[in-house]
Amino acid sequence: MKLVLIGAPAAGKGTQAARLVEHYGIAHISTGDMLREEVAKGTELGLQAKEIMAAGGLVSDELIIAIVKERIQKDDCKNGFILDGFPRTVVQAEKLDEMVSLDKVVYINAPDAVMLERLTARQICPNCGASYNKIFLPPKKAGICDQCGTALTQRKDDTEEAGLKRLRTFHEQSEPLVDFYTKKGILFEVDGTAAIDAITQEIIKGLDA
């Protein structure tokens, strides 16, 4: 099972990826995590990426494609993989197409208003790092950490203004990809407003069909 996962910020992409990895025994490939790992290990790719990021630049298509190409040849990908965070552009999608034949592209879709409500509902404890969500996982006492009693705060990128910006970026990047994979006939869209378990069931049903 070779998959790509596309979903807006707060669409529950991470949770669904983890469940699909477990269900199908496939590898979870997050390009963001991988770049951080390569940098930490000081590999040649990592050193290149570090230089680019230190100069404030975005890692080039060539570099990220090279990283993905190497990664999908590893042993843990023999049953397949789920790509998360890649491809971000049609150029990257075309390159990926040359490397591997994807089974499906899962697109977790939800209206912006729903996503924004979820994004801005996230709260974290600045003391112990516990995370909450006013809608899905509220603390026992509003605004106070269950673990240590500290007043909860919001991450800078979870404010309404930052949330709108992230959603705009997501649409700009993802819409051409959604079109690209729709034309290829492998896009599978699920309703991201459903409950987490229901979304998982719908994805598995769709992939097994």
Q: Which of 41, 141, 155, 168 is catalytic?
A: 155
The residue type at 6: I
73 interacts with Zn ion by CB under 5 A: no
* Residue corresponding to tokens 């996982």: 137
- Residue 88 catalytic? yes
From 60, 131, 147, 169, residue interacting with Zn ion (rule: CB under 5 A): 147
Dihedral class, residue 200 (left if φ above 0, else alpha if ψ from -120 to 50, else beta): alpha
Closest distance of CB 196 from Zn ion, Å: 24
Residue 116 is classified by DSSP as: H
Taking the C-alpha atoms of residue 58 and residue 49, their distance in angstroms, rounded to an integer, is: 9
- For the chain, the C-alpha Rg in angstroms (whole number) is 18
From 127, 133, 193, 201, residue interacting with Zn ion (rule: CB under 5 A): 127
Taking the C-alpha atoms of residue 62 and residue 60, their distance in angstroms, rounded to an integer, is: 5
- Residue 155 catalytic? yes
Closest distance of CB 160 from Zn ion, Å: 24
47 interacts with Zn ion by CB under 5 A: no
Distances (CA, A) of 189 to 146, 150, 158, 185, 199: 36, 40, 25, 11, 10
- Residue 19 catalytic? no
Stretch that binds Zn ion, among 45-53, 107-115, 124-132, 157-165 (CB under 5 A): 124-132
- Residue 118 catalytic? no
- Residue 122 catalytic? yes
Q: Given the rule CB under 5 A, which residues bind Zn ion?
A: 125, 127-128, 130, 145, 147-148, 150
